[in-house]
Structure 1
């Protein structure tokens, strides 16, 4: 009798193995954005790419920094496996800098910390191999706030977020990228995403992006 199979993280796996967690990323929105990105000509030298999920996708980066070289490669709902799947479109542009933030949707879908870190390592190694002159900035996973109920699956991940961020910071030395701690600047006194910066417990309001901008500018990363 043929085993039931499922497509997860680009691999055809037995259903029993894949059911441990959900690493699928290929929503209609994901495919719409990727096809658009792939058709944008690579005509500008020195691009700066913000790469990630909806937290990146929402921002008007070029306007925020008054820099037309900044390109938004955020896709709402994306995960580490989705970044790996579409990374070639980013690296073929040979950007001067990449600012990466990804992982909260992995946690919401039950992807183990070890898989998230392994995927991060693969992303970093591919960027190093495919675009060696690019400066890479890995930004911490942000806190959430369970006062809001809209994104319940993303809540109560504080311990995992802290553990992954610690590993990402350690890995920066090993793999030669810059780790950017945005997490702490956006927390309230209880370690949750401050209501000054969010209205749904997951995504940022304008004030949150201004904090993000100020950190990158203060550290002279942009």
Structure 2
């Protein structure tokens, strides 16, 4: 029995270490995307889940399932990712599912990497085009770029991006802008109580605010779920 368990563990370890079929090891985020593929094999999506896709702010939301207890979730956050990375891996982190809705968090790392708000919006437009082609009218809830202590110098660029996304959302029925900025600002700056020691990632208190704003957006959106869900 012990030998069988050791063999199974070795096989699983090799499987997790190997790159996903068609995904070279030097591709950005290859290992994380491969782990998502393993998870999909072990726990196949049933359809009509709420898909959270984006960067580390979703990846590190460890209590997400507890924060949305009545919602079936798929969490596909991979740390440091930009919208262009989500587009690159679209088929593996979005297109393979049939979600009821998509919660989307990306754009903040894009600004930190030196991209202009205009370039980021072009990437978002490409994402939305692929979403329409694959998932039709499934609504996307874009969570605004968050203010943080570590990236406070980028706040004006973040604000410009947020305004542009809000404008895009006002012009289409499948995109909802979720403002989390005002809830995270205290006395004119990001509330230090919301962040861990790096000044960038959030404590549970920060995620509590996010849950409130995102849940409210889900409830109030004119179209909150994909047709058939």
Q: TM-score range by the shorter chain?
A: 0.7 to 0.9
Match of 2:131 in 1: 127
Aligned counterpart, 1:188: 186
1:172 corresponds in structure 2 to: 169
Q: Which residue of 2 aligns with 1:92?
A: 96
Q: Tell me the CA shift for residue 155 of structure 1.
A: 4.2
Match of 1:139 in 2: 143
The reply to whether residue 102 of structure 1 matches residue 101 of structure 2 is no
CA distance in 2, matches of 1:43, 1:72: 11
CA contact (8 A) 1:80 1:116 kept: yes
Q: How does 1:205-220 map to 2 (within 5 A)?
A: 205-219=203-217, 220=219
* Structure with greater proportional helix content: 2
Post-superposition shift, 1:33? 1.3
Indicate conservation of the 8 Å contact 1:94/1:133, yes or no: no
* Mapped partners of 1:163, 1:126: distance in 2: 24
Unaligned 5+ runs, structure 2: 1-25, 225-229
TM-score by length of 1: 0.78
1:111/1:36 CA distance change after superposition, 3 Å? same
**Does residue 1:72 correspond to 2:75, yes or no?**
yes
CA separation of 1:26 and 1:105: change in aligned 2, threshold 3 A: farther
Match of 1:63 in 2: 66
Question: CA separation of 1:162/1:26 partners in 2, compared to 1, >3 Å: closer, same or farther?
Answer: farther
Q: RMSD in angstroms over aligned alpha carbons?
A: 1.9
Q: Which secondary structure state, in structure 2, belongs to the residue aligned with residue 156 of structure 1? A: helix
- 2: distance between equivalents of 1:102 and 1:111? 12
Which residue in the other structure is 2:33 paired with? 34
Aligned residues: 188
Higher deviation after alignment, 161-170 or 127-136: 127-136
Task: Tell me the secondary structure at the aligned position of residue 215 of structure 2.
Answer: helix
- What's the TM-score once normalised by structure 2's chain length? 0.76
